[in-house]
Amino acid sequence: MIGVLIVDDQALVRAGIRTLLENDPELAVVGEAADGRTAVAQARALRPDIVLMDIRMPVMDGLEATEAIRADPALDASRIVILTTFDDDDDIIEAITRGAAGYLLKDTPADALRSAVKTTAAGENLLSPAITRRVMEHVARSPAPPPPAAAARLDLLTERERAVLVRVGHGDTNEEIATALFLSPATARTYVSRLLAKLEVRDRTALAILAHRAGLVD
101 and 176 housed in the same domain: no
Would you say residue 140 lies in a domain? no
8 and 103 housed in the same domain: yes
What is the tens place of the pLDDT at every residue in 62-103? 999 999 998 898 998 899 998 888 777 677 777 877 888 888
Complete DSSP assignment for 40-69: HHHHHHH--SEEEE-SS-SSS-HHHHHHHH
Q: Residue 161 and residue 168: Cα distance in Å, rounded? A: 11
With beta carbons less than 8 A apart as the criterion, state whether 70 and 98 touch. yes
165 and 111 housed in the same domain: no
Secondary element (H or E) of residue 116 = helix 110-121
Would you say residue 139 lies in a domain? no
What is the tens place of the pLDDT at every residue in 26-74? 999 999 999 999 999 999 999 999 999 999 898 999 999 999 998 898 9
Q: Residue 51 and residue 49: Cα distance in Å, rounded? A: 7
Q: Residue 168 and residue 132: Cα distance in Å, rounded? A: 9
Give the number of domains in the chain.
2
118 and 16 housed in the same domain: yes
101 and 8 housed in the same domain: yes
17 and 118 housed in the same domain: yes
Would you say residue 113 lies in a domain? yes
116 and 153 housed in the same domain: no
What's residue 146's pLDDT? 56
Domain end, chosen from 94, 126, 158, is at 126
Q: Domain span at residue 105?
A: 2-126
Walk across the sheet containing 79-84 and list its strands.
27-33, 2-7, 50-53, 79-84, 102-105
96 and 163 housed in the same domain: no
Q: How confident is the model at residue 210 (pLDDT cuts 50, 70, 90)?
A: confident
Predicted TM-score (pTM) of this structure: 0.71
87 and 10 housed in the same domain: yes
What's residue 217's pLDDT? 77
Q: How confident is the model at residue 159 (pLDDT cuts 50, 70, 90)?
A: very high
Q: What is the CATH number of the domain that holds 194?
A: 1.10.10.10
Would you say residue 49 lies in a domain? yes
With beta carbons less than 8 A apart as the criterion, state whether 214 and 151 touch. yes
Q: Would you give the distance in Å from CA 91 to the centre of its chain?
A: 13
